[in-house]
Structure 1
Amino acid sequence: MKRAFCLLLALTMVLTLVSACSSGNKGNEPKPSPSQTAGSGVSEAPKKVELKVFMTFPRFKDQFEQYFDQFKEKQLAEKNIDVTIQLEMPNADQAKQILQSRLSSGDAPDLFTLHANDIPTYYEAGYIADLTGQPFVGKLYEAVAETVKYDGKVAALPMESLSWGYLYNKTLFRDNGITPPQTLDEMKAAAEKLQAAGVKPFLLAFQESWIPQLMMALSLGGTVSASHPDWIEGMNAGEASYADVRSVFDIIDLIMANGSDKPFETGNEAGSADFANGKAAMWVQGPWNAETILKVNPDMEFGVAPLPVSNEASDTMINLATSTSLALSPKSANKEVALDLLNYMLDDKDSSALFEELKFNPIATVHTYEVFPWVNEASEYVSKGKAYLDLKLPNGVTDEAAKQLQSYYVKDATQEDVIAALDKVWRTAVKSK
């Protein structure tokens, strides 16, 4: 009996010790995460969501993928949502046609980029959701916010807000004693001086049609804003024609006559490399290409100047535009997460680094990075009142101008042919509304 009592006592002491050890470790146990079921200690499986994002920034694929990875980590940590982003970045020449096909067939991406000038067309067609109450709106600079409004509503998130003209090589200008020309005659004299020095005045890159159409965008914008302010209204009413602004061809002809060789063998990437390497003094291309140019030549000094459209210096003005904005499809099956991503594009903490890396202009109060020299240069024209708002053209007109200018360069189309084609597309677009 004594032996049995000793064994029972020993067993009791062991159990007491085990219990005490267990109780002592309790405070060191990891606390359940918010995603764990209360009291179970078992994590809930993350909700899986796939977003389709369509963007016309193939040159910035790496930057956006990295930024989206940050968003995915944030969603998983804060909302226990495992987000997969299917990112599509077609070439700019094909993007608009692909997007319109997707939207009209009911295969709309959750988020997609478009030119701010296209907002009215897409909004009226029911392809764009109203974003007026979203958090990002209160962060936008007022002037930038106006560029993405339609019918009093904020219809998209602006991304590229630009003051743009043509690009010029400051070193080549300085070496040849040239300053940005303010009239057609001054531009002609500058081209002759560069030619005499063995420097190609203009880079031509026609392999992608959206590049040559930039000549028409600037020449038409300057001409209409300076001397034909009622022209768009007249075109919409069927009472005007491109023949009324035929002078747009004056600067286009000058550029084409003083351009680099074999333009149809040169696209945007090759053109950026050629410009960065000093193969031409000027390029009718926007500062959105800064990242691509500086990747080739980080030390290059280039500027942005307004394109002359007449011999009146007052007609030479900078174009103000929001070239690219991000919209939400009202048919998105994952609207809440899509809106989270949309607002993350202007995140208080992270978006400055993205916009600075892309070399985009600051568009919101949360952007605190230092702007680039070419931005300040273009802004000087704006501050002097030498600027105009980007023209809002009907759907299809810009694409037709792109095709026609390629044909015009190789002399497959005359000025009359280009005028007739653009008038026809404009009339068709107005009638289809």
Structure 2
Amino acid sequence: MTRTRRALPWVAAALALTTSCSLVGAGGEEASSGSKITITVALVPDPPGASEFYRQQFDQFQAANPAIAVKVVENPSDQQLSAIELMFQQDNAPDVFRAQDNGMDRMLERGWVAPLDSYVTPDFLGRFPEGSMEPATSGLHHDGKLMSLPLVWGDWSALRVFISNKAILRQNGFANPPKTWSELEKMAAAITKKGAGKVFGYAPAAAKAPAVEMLANTAVPYSVTANGIDFRTGRAATASPGLVEAVELHRRMQADGVMMPGWESWDGNRAFTEFAAGRLAMYASPPWNVAEIRKLNPSAEMSVSAIPVPDAGRGAYTALPQSFGPLWGMSARSKHPKEAWKVMDFLSSKGFHQAYYTKFGTFTALESAWKDQAAKDPDQQAILDVAEETLRPAPNPKLASKGGRAILTAREAKPELRHVDAAVAAIVGNKPFLPVAKEIDTKIEALIDQTVAASGGTASREDITFPAWNPLKPYKPEQ
């Protein structure tokens, strides 16, 4: 609540602005006069071009559903959860809203999300890949009830790729992208040296150095980078050698002037912009950057490959802890739930998913909307190949038990106990990461013990321990 109150003046101003000007599609006056039912949808203008895209899509929806008007409230990406919470607190809740991953958990905890089971049909569930909507593994269910719908392909949310400029590599005598961390370090140093301040070999993608996590996830279980916990043991593990070395790799490159200057202030768009301009040779990335590069530079000689692995060999695969990441929720306070469901159904229709894929190049939750077309595109086929090579199912304590959900929710409520800020400080300040990582682990251990003690017997270390799990093999829930 402290964080929410601090944001209220700014958010209130944003809401006042967006609420007054974001009625999209035809019929705004009719809706306000009462001849139509108005459904309010709260979303964010992301990715680039989303505002215009949603306007066009909801125009189509309204044409097919003339009794419904759609009012869109756009909130800035970094304020969306606080803004939605404020709308609920002011008794002005949206009927449909976008809240990803942990954000949806926050909405669920407050009782603001309506279950969808009474609306879905077998035909509706059949739109999604076989088995992906099972309550135990979907990532969309809470206590067995369907509480959210996805937008992006489950693999897309988890997948990370390595993007290289083949022309720059070739000019520096390299035939292929790096396969190991030492090759990455050597190649990046050589390219930066020859680039003489105009071309740089590598950058960690954005201000929070997400590449540290991307590389570390080839060395340690995903739970170490995501939560600071090794799910094989149930113990804090920020000081795991693989994560420590991923930080140290970046620290060396920073100290040696190898990485592109200024990355410490980059937003999520800067890396693909620099790459498309031919100033950045290599970086690790979420897959959506590939389409953005093509938009900016259709002729770029781009290679999309797997993230380099430690020299000693791969220690883990990129994890798929659930089928999907939650995104769309329906308000439990909606006065027009049937009409709100029609909007939700539209957002999960093949036509909408095809349009989203065509506009943004993003693989969506409905594979039938894009898979045939993606196979014909070299960039997208490369993404599919990397997904096949590097993704493996992994355990998810939040889906497995109430105790696991309680422990991880408590950990997520303390973002300072994640490696990110400490890793960036070590890289930029040229200080060893290991001592700080050990301090973080001590605090995580204490938090786990406190959460277990306060749970009244509903949580234990066993809820976050999966001793049979091998991060190099697909996990099955029965393990």
**Does the alignment reach a TM-score above 0.5?**
yes
Q: How is 1:372-391 mapped onto 2 (pairs within 5 angstroms)?
A: 372-384=377-389, 387=392
Deviations 1:217-268 (A, max 9, x none): 3244333338979x96657997424123533424443564531112245333
- Residue 190 of structure 1 aligns with an amino acid whose one-letter code is M
Q: Secondary structure at the match of 1:168?
A: strand
Residue 412 (structure 2) aligned to one of 385, 395, 398: 395
Q: How is 1:74-113 mapped onto 2 (pairs within 5 angstroms)?
A: 74-76=64-66, 80-81=67-68, 83-91=69-77, 93-99=78-84, 108-113=93-98
Instruction: Say if 2:49 is the partner of 1:63.
Output: no
Deviations 1:294-349 (A, max 9, x none): 33222224343333352233337445584562222322333222221111123234
CA–CA distance in structure 2, aligned partners of residues 364 and 305 of structure 1? 24
CA–CA distance in structure 2, aligned partners of residues 404 and 108 of structure 1? 37
Are the structure 2 counterparts of residues 384 and 243 from structure 1 closer, same or farther at C-alpha, using a change threshold of 3 Å? closer
Q: How is 1:281-296 mapped onto 2 (pairs within 5 angstroms)?
A: 281-296=281-296
Q: How is 1:236-275 mapped onto 2 (pairs within 5 angstroms)?
A: 239-244=235-240, 245-253=243-251, 256-257=254-255, 258-275=258-275
- Residue 349 of structure 2 aligns with an amino acid whose one-letter code is D
Residue 155 (structure 1) aligned to one of 135, 147, 159: 147
Are the structure 2 counterparts of residues 348 and 385 from structure 1 closer, same or farther at C-alpha, using a change threshold of 3 Å? closer
Residue 410 (structure 1) aligned to one of 401, 415, 428: 428
CA–CA distance in structure 2, aligned partners of residues 390 and 237 of structure 1? 13
Query: Are the counterparts in 1 of residues 221 and 316 from structure 2 also a CA contact under 8 Å?
Result: no
- Residue 332 of structure 1 aligns with an amino acid whose one-letter code is S
- Residue 138 of structure 1 aligns with an amino acid whose one-letter code is G
Q: How is 1:7-406 mapped onto 2 (pairs within 5 angstroms)?
A: 46-55=35-44, 57=46, 59=48, 60-76=50-66, 80-81=67-68, 83-91=69-77, 93-99=78-84, 108-116=93-101, 119=104, 122-132=107-117, 133-134=119-120, 136-142=124-130, 144-145=132-133, 146-150=137-141, 151-161=143-153, 162=156, 163-176=159-172, 177-198=174-195, 199-204=199-204, 206=206, 209=207, 212-225=208-221, 239-244=235-240, 245-253=243-251, 256-257=254-255, 258-315=258-315, 317-318=317-318, 320=320, 322=324, 325-368=327-370, 370-371=373-374, 372-384=377-389, 387=392, 394-396=411-413, 401-406=419-424
Are the structure 2 counterparts of residues 292 and 380 from structure 1 closer, same or farther at C-alpha, using a change threshold of 3 Å? closer
CA–CA distance in structure 1, aligned partners of residues 431 and 107 of structure 2? 31
- Residue 149 of structure 1 aligns with an amino acid whose one-letter code is L
Question: Greater Rg, structure 1 or structure 2?
Answer: 1
CA–CA distance in structure 2, aligned partners of residues 155 and 375 of structure 1? 31
Extract unaligned runs of 5+ from structure 1.
Answer: 1-43
Q: TM-score, normalized by length of structure 2?
A: 0.66
Deviations 1:355-385 (A, max 9, x none): 2212111422540451143442233244346
State percent identity of aligned pairs. Answer: 19
Tell me which residue corresponds to 1:22: none
Give how far 1:102 is off.
5.4
Extract unaligned runs of 5+ from structure 2.
Answer: 1-32, 399-407, 456-479
Give how far 1:276 is off.
0.9
CA–CA distance in structure 1, aligned partners of residues 297 and 352 of structure 2? 27
Are the structure 2 counterparts of residues 355 and 216 from structure 1 closer, same or farther at C-alpha, using a change threshold of 3 Å? same
CA–CA distance in structure 2, aligned partners of residues 427 and 305 of structure 1? 40
CA–CA distance in structure 1, aligned partners of residues 336 and 228 of structure 2? 39
- Residue 116 of structure 2 aligns with an amino acid whose one-letter code is L
- Residue 425 of structure 2 aligns with an amino acid whose one-letter code is S
Aligned residues: 381
Give how far 1:273 is off.
1.8
RMSD of the TM alignment (CA)? 4.0
Tell me which residue corresponds to 1:11: none
CA–CA distance in structure 1, aligned partners of residues 218 and 87 of structure 2? 34
Query: Are the counterparts in 1 of residues 39 and 94 from structure 2 also a CA contact under 8 Å?
Result: no
- Residue 357 of structure 2 aligns with an amino acid whose one-letter code is F
Give how far 1:278 is off.
1.4
